[in-house]
Structure 1
Amino acid sequence: MKKEKFFQMIYLLFMMVVGGVAGAAIVKYVEKLGGDFIGSLLYALFCFYLAFFLTVVIHEGGHLVMGLKTGYQFLSFRIGSLTLVKQDGRYAFKKFNIAGTGGQCLLMPPPSDDPLQVPFVLYHLGGGLFNLLTAVIFLPLGLWTDFFYLKILFVLLGAISAYMGVLNLLPVKIPVATDGYNILNMLRHPLEREALYKQLRINGLMYEGATPAEIPAELYEFGGETGGIYEGMEKLLKASVCIEKREFEQAQKLLEEYLEGPNLLTIYRLEANCELLFCKIMNGASDDEIEKLYDKELKSYVKTAGKTQISKKRLLYAYDLLYKKDETAAEKEYAAAMKMKNTYPNVGELKSELTLIDYIRNLQGTERRTA
């Protein structure tokens, strides 16, 4: 945990330094040109945001192209929270987001009796490679041209692409694992490949409409200790099945076992704690247990993730209705969850969550079971 936070601090410091140097260079260049300083500076700022947006699109596009090239099936393409999905043969825009990510391209690997033979390097490498290719093209063009408007745009696009490409291919966790880290991790630990393959298959089947409990049980078996960041992940996934089946005590046991494991990424730890909090509420844990778990860090994560993730609305609905006994606050969370019905990209998850929310709603007026 301390090591991961150290790398996060280094990463943020590096971003501040790079941003400061880039900003100072742009200001100096604009001053040198003379003329409308404020107007030129505003244009440079606009180009920065445009270049950043294009860099994210190119990065996720790289994953898409390389994934499709190696036999993967398209599921969704997300920039920010805007998500393009393909469901029932038709494309539609939905809304979703994951903390710590500017975008995401989700693909489903092809069915295979031997997951270790399914290609994975190009899919993960594609984003960073496309960014570096963009940098190789646009940085020289930006330095070569004397036309101010193109120079600023091209240099920023090239510089941001180079930065994102290099950073993404470095094997680090900040706080999510980079593509470079994923590749190195799976090369070192072959069972990690199988674990990721099965997770992507599960996710793909859920996008097609299957709930966690409807997915074949063999996809939840990872074949032993993986030795990497997906160590014990099957417990987290099995817990989602138990929660859907309302086997909350078994789900709590699996989640507690998972959280005792090594190599936990911050985002996985927070997700597990969210589900553990829900199970403790449903199992009638003491007030002290619930308040201790629902600390400042988890509250911040739930608040952010709850903007687009229905599972967090389900958690908050149970927290307000069954634990806090605050029906007014609970109804706000219920209404927010219902608003997500037409914009949620993961059909199977949506079905499972709506069923759970209805179950919680039917408990209204009953006394919460206490330990």
Structure 2
Amino acid sequence: MKKFLSTLIMVVIGMVFGGALALLILSGELSVANIVVGFVCLVVFYIVHIILHEAGHLIFGKLTGYSLVSFRVFSWMVVATENGLERKKLYVPGTLGQCLMAPPPYVEGKFPFKLYLCGGVILNFLASAVVGLIAWIAGEFPLAVSLFVLIGFFIGITNIIPAGFNDGMTLKMAWNQERKQWQLFSQFFINAQTSNGVSYQELPDELFVLPAGDDGADYFSQWTICMQLARAMDRLDFEEAKRINDLLWERKKQLISLFRVEIAKERLFLLTILEGDIEEIRSIYAEKEVKRFLAIKQMSNKRIAAAYELYVNGNLDKAVALCEEGMGLERYNPNAADVVLEKKLMGVLLGD
């Protein structure tokens, strides 16, 4: 099934770009200038449809009782705070945008998640249909309009077909499973609360518990276990955090790439601070994917790099400098609880 879906997505991608080229050829205006214009339209309309997609989540979330937490396109982000909207900067590899919202109170059997998850696809399809209809009524279908319509349907289709870590897969997993709907609610709720400064320790225990019989194989459950890890770190219970990390590390091949790298990074920190196997520490640090993520300017990455410098290279000055750099990135972090946690962990690292 996974092979079929990935093949289908590749077919859709090929159809979009093949269709764009065919439109240029059929128009009889295949020239360098038109190819450049077409390429620019592809880029611009792709960004427009990403914004429309996330706006769709926002609109349909609002209609079903959600409230805005954050809205991100690429690394540009706005976060809802008590003082209004604030600009932040967050780069998440593998994602082009994200609209996160606080859910309404959970009522068993009535959790409104379907429209929220489908909202992005609905707006992509709707925008493409409206623009296409206007062009059809006007009797003209220029290349720019054709590209806008094609890209909208492309983004909509690749998001609604259940594959990997997308809206369609999340919708499929939660559709008829109450326990998965609870986990989805927990994700939204924990993110909303911690974004407002509520620590992981202050949140109810039931948000961090896997449902009975859950084997932790899907990304809903893996996220819950990651939150257990964050909670242990918040308590500065590094032995418990290492135990949870070990469980995730044993099944790292089953984790989605984003989780796998985050678990590897925190394993680096835990192994260094608990004076674990130095060869394993060096091996993880040398992984290309880990190095790529650690190069991203985030508080957690500076803290982990500082731990490596301190415990592996014995370079206190470098560790202090990295922690200072991390503190300087506080203003970009959209999650208030994580800011407090990172400061606390850096303090432990440097013996404050």
Q: TM-score, normalised by structure 2?
A: 0.88
Q: Distance in 2 between matches of 1:232 and 1:81?
A: 24
2:44 counterpart of 1:47? no
| Mapping of residues 155-174 of structure 1, within 5 Å | 155-173=146-164
Identity %: 23
State the superposition RMSD in angstroms.
2.8
Alignment of 1:108-257 (within 5 A): 108-112=102-106, 114-142=107-135, 151-173=142-164, 177-226=165-214, 228-257=218-247
d(CA) in 2 for partners of 1:68 and 1:252?
39
For the residue of structure 1 that corresponds to 2:350, the secondary structure is helix
The structure 2 residue matched to 1:277, chosen from 248, 268, 273, is 268
Q: Give the deviation of 1:264 after TM superposition.
A: 2.9
Aligned partners of 1:136, 1:337: CA distance in 2, in Å? Answer: 46
Q: Report the number of matched residues.
A: 349
CA displacement, residues 28-84 of structure 1 (integer Å, 9 cap, x when unaligned): 357x237xx443333222211110111001100110011111111110110111101
Deviations 1:173-219 (A, max 9, x none): 0xxx1111111101243211111111211110011111222323232
Secondary structure of the 1:135 match is helix
Aligned to 1:107: 101
Given that 1:75 and 1:204 are in contact with CA atoms closer than 8 Å, whether structure 2 keeps it comes out as yes
CA contact (8 A) 1:64 1:123 kept: yes
- Structure 2's unaligned 5+ residue stretches are none
> Alignment partner of 2:220: what SS?
coil
DSSP-derived class of the 2:241 partner:
helix
Out of 63, 67, 77, the residue aligned to residue 61 of structure 2 is 67
Bigger drift between 344-353 and 290-299 goes to 290-299
Residue 257 of structure 2, aligned match among 266, 273, 281: 266
Within 5 A, what are the aligned runs for 1:301-320?
301-303=292-294, 306-307=296-297, 309-320=298-309
Identify the match of residue 33 of structure 1 among 29, 32, 50.
29
1:212–1:68 Cα change, 3 Å: same
Mean Cα deviation higher: 59-68 or 315-324: 315-324
Residue identity in the other structure for 2:226: L
Stretch deviating more after TM superposition (354-363 or 280-289)? 354-363
Residue 162 of structure 2 contacts residue 169 of structure 2 at CA under 8 Å; is this kept in 1? yes
| Whole-angstrom distance in 1 between the partners of 2:7 and 2:202 | 43
Q: Distance in 1 between matches of 2:262 and 2:109?
A: 27
2: CA distance, partners of 1:181 / 1:121: 12
**Conservation of the 8 A alpha-carbon contact between 2:70 and 2:78:** yes
Contact 1:233/1:258 (<8 A) preserved: no
Report the CA distance shift for 1:234/1:9 in structure 2 as closer, same or farther (over 3 A). Answer: closer
Q: Return the offset for 1:361.
A: 2.3
* Paired letter, 1:235: I
Query: Which residue is equivalent to 1:366?
Result: none
Using the TM superposition, name which of 81-90 and 313-322 deviates more.
313-322
Contact 2:5-2:163 within 8 A present in 1 as well: no
1:10 to 1:303, Cα distance in 2 relative to 1, 3 A? farther
Of 320, 334, 339, which aligns to 2:323? 334
**Distance (Å, rounded) in 2 between the aligned partners of 1:98 and 1:242:** 23
- In the alignment, the residues of structure 2 paired with residue 183 and residue 232 of structure 1 have an alpha-carbon distance, to the nearest angstrom, of 17
SS, match of residue 362 in structure 1? coil
Distance 1:315 1:46, change over 3 A: same
The residue matched to 2:52 in structure 1 has which SS?
Answer: helix
SS of 1:230's partner is helix
Asked whether the equivalents of residues 285 and 291 of structure 2 are also in contact (C-alpha less than 8 Å), the reply is no
8 Å CA contact 1:55–1:160 kept in 2: the answer is yes
Q: Which letter maps to 2:310?
A: L
CA distance in 2, matches of 1:142, 1:33: 19
Distance 1:319 1:287, change over 3 A: same
Contact 2:79 2:88 in 1 (8 A): yes
Aligned position for 1:56:
50
Which of 14, 17, 28 pairs up with 1:17? Answer: 14
- Please say if residues 185 and 192 of structure 1, whose CA atoms lie closer than 8 Å, have aligned partners that are also in contact: yes
Deviations 1:305-350 (A, max 9, x none): x33x322222112122222224465355334312311222111111
Closer/same/farther in 2, CA of residues 151 and 254 from structure 1, 3 Å limit = same
